A and B are shown apart, each in its own frame.
Chain A
Amino acid sequence: MMPPIPANPAPVNPLRMDMIPMNYALIVAWVLFVIGVIGVLARRNLLFILMSVEIMLNASGLAFVVAGSRWGQPDGQIMFIFILAMAAAEVSVGLALVLLAYHRFGGLDADAANRMKG
């Protein structure tokens, strides 16, 4: 049971130097996510696609952490732990698939696996 989100966040001085402004952190997350998406779309090597997916996952994890710290709550970091666990599972399955695809198609080219049959 998550505690209810406070309606009015605690006032934060945007000019404090010891804190990175939230917008910057979110921009970093966004940049990471776009890099990941482009990697998925542009790369043909399955390994790189997998890595790009990891980058996208981390981007969303970063966004959670930033949002958590913005509201001064630990939920964002808990969420990140979940994402880590999920990413680990995903990678293990993904790598197994990559291995199979390598044996089957004799390479790691994603576009080689474009047959609907078999």
Chain B
Amino acid sequence: MMLPYLWLIPALPFAGFLVLSVLGRRMGNGPAAAVGVGSVGLSALVAILVASSFINAPPPAHVYTQTLWRWISVGGFAPGVMLYLDSLSLIMVLVVTVVGFLIHLYSAEFMAADDGYSRFFAYMNLFVGSMLVLVLAGNLLFLYLGWEGVGLCSYLLIGFWYREPENGAAAIKAFVVTRVGDTALAIGLFLIFINLGTLDIQRMMNLAALHWRPGGALPTIAAALLLGGAIGKSAQLPLQTWLPDAMAGPTPVSALIHAATMVTAGVYLIARTNVLFTMAPAVQIAVAVIGAATLLVSGMSALVQHDIKRVLAYSTISQIGYMFVALGVGAWSAAIFHFMTHAFFKALLFLGAGAVIAGLGGEHDIFRMGGLRRQMPLAFWCFLAGACSLSALPLVTAGFYSKGLILSSAWEAGRAGFWLWAAAIAGALLTSIYTFRLVFIVFFGEAKAKISKKPGPRAAIPLVILAFLSVAGGFVNFPAFFGIKGSMFFSRFLASALPSATYAAPLPETDLLLEAVAAIVSLAGIYVAYFFFLSSPEYSREMAGTAIGKVLKRFWFEDWGFDWLYEKTLAAPYRWLARTNRNDAVDLFYSFIAKVNMFFHYGLSLSQTGKVRFYAAVIALGAVVTITIAVFAR
């Protein structure tokens, strides 16, 4: 039985962080990498052992909790440092540790020439530890600790190359924008604690179901506040602006934090507190609508970007939009399934992009790349596997199964279902267009630059493993219409932790039809990309040259003007206020008190003459006055 060793999973990365942050400067690159990669690798190993033990000998009710110690005890408020393992957190833990380990291994080579080698691994380990706390936490306060921990690491790693001022600005932007959501989440926790008296997630949901009226004001407000937190962390409309800028960090960071794990914390939060969202139908539909809007908006923004990493960043936002759609229609396991496949293929795409960027000596602009297919065959084939999975190439890729499940769940979701499905299918078309635009421009066509460096073994192994997972990771959840034994294994595994989907699954015939449409759309998108960006690029240039094309391109390139809007309405007034109030009006009162004190201080310091006889006279005078008062003031 491995379950009692559950605490090791988050503890190992934290230990790695401690060792690296204390001894990191004195370590060479070799030991630092050994500690940094090894701690996460061991953690992944423990996670796999725990998972096998969980599956082979399930604990009672498919839930295993481990209370390490009591955190604080104030009045009736006594949150424990409590780990909660069920099938949902098990999936999350597995993905975080395994993908995290592969990315750490890749970074060992990718960051080799960097000065801050041990600092990098220290931050990465801290991140993995915090993320594991987030997904294993049994109460919302502990979850919030992990939530803020990953936010901190995100800040540290975006600004990792802190000598460039833009990187620092991007880090601050990410921190401040997610802070908006975090504040909503914190208020939500206060509300839940005041009304239900507990932050333990399972108890909280039981009590909420018992005491709150479904659709009433309290569950709606609580769910909306949690949704606010989820939007900030998961970069959904309207708080998505931080994620594209977060690409300022090293590429493995983008792969680990801003694609595979941290940004899906919001998805996890909603899935974890699903009872609350089920009780607030208005908020739940808002989740779906936000997701649908986000996936369209970011899909279009991704179409026109020049920076290889920004394309992937927008595609991340858009794929998390799919997960939100799934959550919004109550297809909980579909969202988690897409989270898992997305973690595989998006990590792969980022690592592949990192190999290309490193190979070209730090070139990010896709129009200065080209023809890399022959020069970097390994990176090409791996990137292609990820791209196929992202654009949901039918049957052979993981993305097809997870996205198909979301699409068919959306179709069945009541009256809004058709529109959600339509948005999602349009997003699917956009996805395959922008993905293969990237593939065709970067890897096909004529070669424009020479490769200076090829990925070494430590970078190649993670790429190959992730490519395999991107293709095969979907086979754990075959749709029912194939009639294969063991279909929908993943969803059935999650059934012990998540309620069954709100809406019934579509009939097998409908499902087959929907999947066929999705497959056709995906292939059509690839053909469109082939036509416009490889076979006859003059058409795309012509289209971009028309008046509407120019405006749209500019508009999408600037991500629909969100940054401009926030700059004008929030950042600029705030900066004006800060400049005007440089001397701080409120401070005047306090500095006045200080000035009065200074005045008396100077007066009194005049009496410090150093003359003993003067002191003696003052003492005598004081004695006379005191005695006079004592005698006469009766």
Contact residues of A with B, CB < 8 Å? 37, 40-42, 44, 49, 110-111, 113-116
Contacts and interface: CB of A to CB of B under 8 A. Distances in A.
Contacts of B620: 37, 40-41
A111 B612 CA distance: 7
Nearest to B610: A114
Main secondary structure of the interface of B (DSSP, over half): helix
A42 to B, nearest CB: 8
B617 A41 contact: yes
A35 B75 CA distance: 69
7 contacts: A40-B613, A41-B620, A42-B613, A49-B612, A113-B610, A113-B612, A114-B611
Nearest to A40: B616
Contacts of B610: 113-116
Contacts of B616: 40-41
B617 A114 contact: no
Interface of B: 608-613, 616-617, 620
A104 to B, nearest CB: 14
Interface hub of A40, A44, A113 (most chain B Cβ within 10 A):
A40
A92 B284 CA distance: 91
B617 A110 contact: no
Contacts of A37: 620
Interface of A is mostly: helix
Given A37-B620, A40-B616, A41-B620, A111 B608 contact: no
A108 to B, nearest CB: 12
A110 B613 CA distance: 8
Contacts of A41: 613, 616-617, 620
B524 to A, nearest CB: 90
B611 A111 contact: yes
A18 B620 CA distance: 36
Contact of A116 (B608, B613, B617): B608
B605 to A, nearest CB: 11
A58 B292 CA distance: 100
A37 B623 CA distance: 12
B264 to A, nearest CB: 67
List 9 tightest A-B contacts by C-beta distance, closest first.
A114-B610, A114-B611, A41-B617, A110-B612, A116-B610, A40-B616, A41-B613, A111-B611, A37-B620
A111 B617 CA distance: 14
B614 to A, nearest CB: 9
A109 to B, nearest CB: 11
Contacts of A111: 611-613
Nearest to B620: A37
A41 B616 CA distance: 7
A115 B609 CA distance: 8
A113 B609 CA distance: 11
A67 B350 CA distance: 100
A117 to B, nearest CB: 9
